[in-house]
Chains A and B, each alone.
Chain A
């Protein structure tokens, strides 16, 4: 029995509900129109390069990274640009999107569409150039542009690359299926990242509840030098960057610092796959795996989806909306957001679309804090969410700074365990947003 790693502080055990763990990835196809947002990452929106009426192919550069913290946006379909205007997003706010009317698939000439695995890794300069121009961002959900992450400053030293294969959110199985089906590609992706970082070893962190993936990964990783598989406990939020580093290396990322300060880089498994595709197949990031699930979803499945596909199209494909559906969630049930507009497109950061019934998505009326301390017990960062909540309620945003509200990872454990159903996560989010705005 291998050693099982976990983080020591807080965390909760929640129902896994992995309905689609065994359903293979299917191609979602191409909708009639795709809407590609020009901001799908942290940082400044990309600069639009195309005009209305332009013909585009799959992989055509639509918008160029503007500034240091930004990412390229590529076309996910072949067709014609019909509009570039603010369009209603998932949360009802309008954002700039490029609308493309689709035509039969046509790829940019240098994209390699063959299925065989390419194992020869090119030179470091080539890797960095290709990652920079393929619009890769962290696919775990935060959307931090990968080129910045692998560009290590001179005074810092990275010793360890962790490939995050832990999908601790309930329902979501996109990464799990990807790892089961494209295990070797992910490991090659990890080796490519290794070369870009100038280090030799990579750790693939896996969840205890994925026996199939563990078996495949352990078998393949024996062939590649420096790749190790480590198994972590099934606990939420084991997949959080800081929790994972603590579990694997035993080091704690100091408050306000980055993982590279303790010599670690964490990349999502899907990001490693995107890196493989970008470097070995010249394929920019224009599609991702999305789980459609939920207790009211008629046909839960994992789809390979073009970026910009409206959620409506995917929901229609998996059986439509039944009358019992009361909430549709983008992302996982713990960290995702309830959406108001099902015509909104999926972007690079969405790992799942969930259709939940009233029973699952119910909200109880908010009560008073009974000072049970459950939120503080469950917080994986060791914060005191009730205190942050009280400060925000009384509009004392400055005071939340001394509670280290900025260290909140927005995992939602506090709100989940609260017996009075106080929206502690919302308060933490407000505190973070206000503190960021003031600085």
Chain B
């Protein structure tokens, strides 16, 4: 009996030892040379793999940074980490620091709250905007409006979106929002847009995506854009297409914001001032 145990121990130990020796030499011979810089850059990055930079994830971004020339590097930007992270990477690579970028956050282009667009039908299906959008237009009748089911809330990697209990619309926390764009891709109605905030914290945008004729849009929602073209008289860069106005992101909110929100007959244009934004270190 004891003989059997000894033989087993010898055989198994022998196999393990030979394998270890082979593996040691193989790992020496075929060692892959990884760039140590990639690892260092990766440690600076936020590691949420949101894809906001346009790369697949943080590792991909780090690889792209390490390979880039100075000119290429100036085009790379991590919107989540902001300038702090980019400066760290720049010093690591020995490049010049990037310039300050405008703070940008996601905005919801719909104002169809319970009060503005009361529900006429009941949706009792699955709690998912994606499914609800395929089944029917919307409880309030708007085929382009918010469905209030919170796909964006679940998708946001930074917990920056919350459904407001009163209006049942998603509200974006400007402090937490990093403009990564996950919500833009998630919303089945494409209601989110990444828009800049100017230095005073002002923003102006059309909070509507309804492309129906004015009369039909107004029937379901009090604050729908009816395509009246009044806003385009103020600035010619504002274009009205398919009964829907769009204010370009380059338009100065400071200069035109108040005027635009006053001229809009349905108050579809939102002009707001976000005060006390917790600025990142790059301010």
Contacts and interface: CB of A to CB of B under 8 A. Distances in A.
A426 B135 CA distance: 9
B34 interface: no
B137 interface: yes
B130 A94 contact: no
Interface string B105-140: 000000000000000010011110011001111100
A423 B126 contact: yes
A366 interface: yes
A29 interface: no
A32 interface: no
A340 B137 contact: yes
A92 B137 contact: yes
A338 B216 contact: no
Nearest to A92: B137
B40 to A, nearest CB: 31
B135 A91 contact: yes
Contacts of B81: none
Interface string A68-95: 0000000000000000001010011110
Nearest to B137: A92
B138 A94 contact: no
Contacts of A92: 121, 136-138, 141, 143
A368 to B, nearest CB: 14
B212 interface: yes
Interface in A337-351: 337-340
Nearest to B213: A86
Interface in B193-239: 212-213, 216
Nearest to A425: B131
Contacts of A338: 135-136
A429 B134 contact: yes
B227 to A, nearest CB: 14
Contacts of A340: 121, 136-137
A430 B130 contact: yes
Contact of B143 (A93, A337, A429): A93
Given A94-B143, A430-B130, A423 B125 contact: yes
B212 A93 contact: no
Given A92-B141, A94-B212, A94-B216, A363 B134 contact: no
A92 B143 CA distance: 7
A423 B137 contact: no
B120 to A, nearest CB: 8
A433 interface: yes
Contact of B125 (A88, A93, A363, A395): A363
- Find the residue from B138, B143, B212 having the highest chain A CB count within 10 A: B143
Nearest to A427: B131
A430 B143 contact: no
A94 B216 CA distance: 10
A430 B121 contact: no
A395 B182 CA distance: 11
A331 to B, nearest CB: 13
Interface in A86-107: 86, 88, 91-94
Contacts of B136: 91-93, 338-340
B219 to A, nearest CB: 10
A313 B137 CA distance: 23
Interface of A: 86, 88, 91-94, 337-340, 363, 366, 395, 423, 426, 429-430, 433
Given A423-B126, A426-B131, 4 more contacts: A92-B143, A93-B136, A94-B143, A340-B121
13 contacts: A86-B213, A91-B137, A92-B138, A92-B141, A93-B143, A94-B212, A338-B135, A340-B136, A366-B126, A426-B125, A426-B135, A429-B134, A433-B134
